[in-house]
A and B are shown apart, each in its own frame.
Chain A
Amino acid sequence: MDNFLAARSQMALSLGFHIIFSCIGMVMPFFMAVSHYLWLKTNNPVYKNVTKAWSKGVAIFFATGAVSGTVLSFELGLLWPTFMKHAGPIFGMPFSLEGTAFFIEAIALGFYLYGWNRFNKWFHWFTGVVVGISGIASGILVVSANSWMNSPTGFDFINGKYTNIDPIKAMFNPAWFSQALHMSIAAFAATGFAVAGVHALMIVRKMNINFHKKAFRIAAVFGVVASILQPLSGDISAKMVAKRQPAKLAAMEAHFKTEEYSPLIIGGIPDVKNKKVNYALELPGLLSFMVHDNFKTPVTGLDQIPEKDQPPIAVTHYSFQLMVALGMLMMTIGVIYFIALIKKRDWFNKHWFLRLFIAATPIGFIAVEAGWTVTEVGRQPWIIQGIMRTKDAVTPMPGIGYSFYLFTAVYLTLSIVVIFLLYRQIRMVPQIYDTTNPMHTKN
């Protein structure tokens, strides 16, 4: 396997794996804290049971996210030493703050998981909230480091030298806010839908209905609110991409020709050779409107970008389309949820309603992976936009292919084991967690 391709694949695999665990690890503590709050306020033991069950999930996801995150902090150097040699001191600031946030999260989790009946009940609850807050802070900081790669600032690049370094300016680079916002909301949407979907399945299967209904309601609220807000943050993100990374935006849209009334291209199969998109739905002027707030101003197309500076068009376009489509689907489900909440309370018991959520279980995470692909593949061939090419950053050590196979095997095994553990957690709900209603089980 080609060394450069292997390094890119290993990085993509590691990030793709880590992103799922870190999203769940930073969002689920909030579900847990809400349920815990309801237990403290209502004294309804079902909430306590839901809290305990979720805290096990948090522990499993946190541990897996923590080790895969540790691995990533080494992989940056193992795979991209030339990048890190120059970029480390510039964009490293958020990582050093993230170290603190991550540490606090680990300490708070220790208090929370082992603190039942040991501390003041509100202090114990508060440590659970701290787990969530420090998790979100970690996520925002890491994304802000990534956004620096998309919009590098905080240094001067003169004759191949990086001078006048300002790490604080680099941390608050122009893209940090839009990217951090988009990713944080995505984490809530994806985790909310995934958790709600699993509990909806249990309700449909008539297992411990009371337990799963309460769990479903908490997770679903987070998921649907986030999915309704997400298109707004997506719009902010896209405008930032258009401004700082016109090549990425053009690839996302498969927008080949720079012209007035640039069309929004939906779907379709990009034909890179002939510079056109087949079978797409084109809405004239809409792309111009979304980027420039008027229908006329042309949007930079791929024809304005030298071929050697273009990202892989098909992958970026498909990933973007997939992300948007799934986002829209989640938003629609979100709207249906609110209709149910306000007008049609009985929908919550309808199987079609629950089946909608069951079917939607994985789509948030598919959208997260697709969005991550857009931002990373769309930045190619650059590792630092416009400054350093990815191929110039790769390690000189040959044989990275073997390392990639090893990491693939390990992450695949871990994924299977985690799914297996969650399956067991859910199967054991009647025996371990649902003390109030043990008879409502099929077993």
Chain B
Amino acid sequence: MANTNIDSVKQRSYDAIVIGSGISGGWAAKELTEKGLKTLVLERGRDVKHIADYPTANKMPYEFEHRGEIPHATREANPILSRAGAWQEDTDHFFVKDNEHLYIQKKPFDWIRGYQVGGRSLLWARQTQRWSQYDFEGPARDGFAVDWPIRYEEIAPWYSHVESFAGISGNQDGLAELPDGEFLPPNPLNAVEDHFKGVLSERFEGRYLIAARFANLTKSTPTQLAQGRSQCLSRRLCKRGCPFGGYFSSNSSTLPWAEKTGNLTMRPHSVAHSVIYDEKQEKATGVRVIDSQTKEVIEYYAKIIFVNASTINTNLILLNSISSRFPNGLGNDNELMGKFVAFHNYNTKVRAQFEGLSEFATFGDRPGSTYIPRFRNIFRQETGFLRGYATAFSARRNMYSERSGIGTDLKENLLNPKLGGWSVGAQMMGETIPKESNYVSLDTEKTDSWGMPLLNIDIDFDENDRKMEIDSMEQLSEMLDAAGFTNIKTTQKRQAPGIDIHEMGGVRMGKDPKTSLLNKWNQLHACKNVFVTDGACMTSTSTQNPSLTYMAITARAANHAVEEMRKGNV
């Protein structure tokens, strides 16, 4: 009997456990297994195998019963999810429905989730801009949150490491505020984007239009071919899963790579309940899991644990990891865990038209668009708000079908598309300031289907965000006007936070254990064999789409973890 028990524990023991298989969990799995660690990846959702589990990837539009639209009753039943633009008939199977995992909205917060192997890496927008020194120095310079314990120089080699493997397209633009990297050829700009770029460089000092860096393979190098991934065909159907591996996801890249080492064990349907802390050894010894199908509680053991459950669920798991040493959650001596959550502000858009360059049009498609790096408050504070915003920008001139008339006129119109005019769209991507009052916490009474406490989410915009929104509309309008664009229209939305899908923080990195949860290697200050390297670790948000930074931080921390293990330090 005793032997059976020992065998059972042995069978459930690994060198490392990674909670979560999304964009950061996939990287943890890749790095740890490559270094020879027997690694268990816990995923709360079902398995999604690359290609085999992309049921809609090659479907024509008419093969969808509602031509892509989610039926009204389904939308009504999912008010949160229905605000996610990517939720359509072809991607329905990759999104969590509102009633599948409840949470309490102290204030409106649209928490968009993908519970499956690969998580939201299947669904992401794929923009991959590096942070700069000015981003890491931001909180210290401007006096908010806490100082980042790392600087750009420390993360730069890891950006290169993940860019080379994932395959990132981009140009060497030579901008200090948006450092260059290891890039595949950039997405081409079109005539109007080049025109706008020219006007900015001539008339707006410090403002640049560049090809946005994207995780789509504009060319496949031997590195990606070795992963079984080939060049992106610009189908723009990434969110269905790409049968060519044309964009980076855990499913197409890091997870199969980890599997090839023979060191990976993937366990889907495993809801992480808590990290197990051993008071005698003064370290974490494993993870308690609820099998989502059988509701059985199972414990897995490992020497090191990576928590990559996605920002909010990482907070949930750690807050739920209670012991007599840590009554408020693992490593939460300062009671700051769950607090200082921030996000990105996407509230404003500017649209316009362009009468010039009528000799050109756009033809075919590309997997990217263009980007204006942050130009406010970079080198010094110069506006009435803190920080700033980047801008996503694109111009197009496509064919369209006139819809006027009835009868043969209408049919003629529909079957004879005409060339439209140039139109452009710009969207702000603003940094928000982490605040103690923006937090997630465990509800003391209500629990979910797995017996886990429900999360309270209390997160909102503030005055700084509103000022930034107004500035973005003014500045973009001014820039477009100067470049000769007409019919400039601004919109200022009042969407809830969350829908930006860039929630960050709650388990922030910092230098001082009194004011932060993680050290510069993403180890919990108070429990060094637990690493948090997803969005939860973020001290501040900057303006860049965060995934590339999660990847780099994860790869860096995983390599450090292996070194520390070999030295016997964890």
Task: Tell whether A pairs with B.
Answer: no
